[in-house]
Structure 1
């Protein structure tokens, strides 16, 4: 089954919702970076949220990046989405640099222990303006979902419910998905009470997915009694747009002297893409051509 996100509102327009299933894109990220289980969960939650946030953008060429840095052994998490919800991302230390993080007593992965909570979540929106919008707010837990909830409340003054989940073995992502549900500024007390009641009854995202529920089913639960209205169903995926020509910018950024030194000493260069771990090889002739262009 393909990954997709449902965009919906309540019948009265006071609530908007994004509900996602993202197992395939999280699996691709895991395979690209060979992440251990807790890193797969942390990266998968971040990618899922970033994809849904990408779909909140209005213009075709808008881009959004999320950086989470909590001081934990996983290092920095970086995810980027376009307005179609196509995402890419990586973690700085996919094996936590050899540091062992114990699971919680109930057996659940200790994502906060890997991410840390002494840091920030930063959201960068490139909306085609002269300067990108940058919002940076302290992490509150390191469990990712709570941190995005905090971000929406502070940055966009939007009361939000964020739930994210990844169920994985060492190598296989079994379930992944999430939901973001937000109250509009003019929401009535009745709508708020209904939504709060529905949210209090929700199981975890991975539990619902494991029980065979679809995003449609989860949407009907969270907007029960609020006449959910589906606006769009968007197929999403892990999508890295790197290429040998785009990676060439890395060589140019080194400057003429450094590139000339590489040509003289190594006669070649190999550059990898952080997002998908693809490798690009440049021969001496290709490097000299780049140097000539500079």
Structure 2
């Protein structure tokens, strides 16, 4: 498997951890949405986080949505993931171009700007769980670290990164999430904090050729790391003509009649994968007959 997620524990299950390599899904998203380098970096980071957070969910039909709404030029980012490693996403303004930040890196924080992070978990209950936090740095990893601590009360460390080639294709992408269980010993916490402080960046480790297992080995090797499983992850959209038909039927007879009266083909586009679905007058009349 090319893109995949590793699930692990350490320190006698006091620590749980996830790590992923996501170059192919990030490159697929870049090509699909024709994103600029900074938009690719922002979307790739959230896709990676969404993939790992998705597999944290237990239900086969559970759906996770991450939404960032910022006041920067990118506007917003939306990512949806399931518990099987499927993830999809898009940015509101894929063509954002910004100068590098003071560190000479892609200015994701400048593109996103101040705003809000929403985490929505649909677990088949009457109402989905919704957690919201104010963006702390708009770099995404730190914002998710803050979200876990405040909304889920789980001390966590999130690392995310996307490295671009000179031709603006994706060279590396991936990340990790390390979480402490409520009973974690203070000595373990102190030692882990020191270990995390020595890490430069996710992309530097990936660019060294490190696998997700090796990244967790560097971070947690001193704590009795135990790899539990590894699973593929990929950009996958579940849109279909049938789903779009249901959406059109749901808008009601009045709006469908107005579309038919215009006598034009209606074209609908999927935000996530860019697929186009065209409905001519005959198609719309058929949907009108199906609507209640």
TM-score interval, smaller chain: over 0.9
Which residue is equivalent to 1:288?
285
Q: Are residues 1:128 and 2:88 paired?
A: no
Q: Are residues 1:143 and 2:139 paired?
A: yes
Moved more, 102-111 or 23-32: 102-111
Distance in 2 (CA, whole Å) between partners of 1:248 and 1:29 is: 25
Moved more, 84-93 or 266-275: 266-275
Distance in 2 (CA, whole Å) between partners of 1:239 and 1:280 is: 17
Task: Describe how 1:204-223 pairs up with structure 2 within 5 A.
Answer: 204-223=201-220
Q: Given the alignment, which residue of 199, 202, 212 partners 2:199?
A: 202
Q: Are residues 1:159 and 2:155 paired?
A: yes
TM-score w.r.t. structure 2 length? 0.96
Deviation at 1:40, TM superposition (A): 0.3
- Paired residues of 1:53 and 1:85 also in contact (CA < 8 A): no
- Paired residues of 1:198 and 1:224 also in contact (CA < 8 A): no
Moved over 6 A (4+): none
Task: Describe how 1:51-130 pairs up with structure 2 within 5 A.
Answer: 51-96=51-96, 100-117=97-114, 119-130=115-126
Secondary structure of residue in 2 paired with 1:230: strand
Secondary structure of residue in 2 paired with 1:64: strand
Deviation at 1:11, TM superposition (A): 4.3
Note the residue ranges of structure 2 that are not aligned, 5 or more in a row. Answer: none
Note the residue ranges of structure 1 that are not aligned, 5 or more in a row. Answer: none
Which residue is equivalent to 2:264?
267
Distance in 2 (CA, whole Å) between partners of 1:238 and 1:267 is: 33
Give a deviation string over 1:191-213, Cα, whole Å, max 9, x none: 11221121112121111111111
- When the two chains are superposed, the root-mean-square deviation of aligned CA atoms in Å is 1.2
Cα 1:56–1:256 shift into 2, 3 Å: same
Deviation at 1:24, TM superposition (A): 0.4
Which residue is equivalent to 2:15?
15
Distance in 2 (CA, whole Å) between partners of 1:228 and 1:34 is: 39
User: Alignment length, in residue pairs?
Assistant: 290
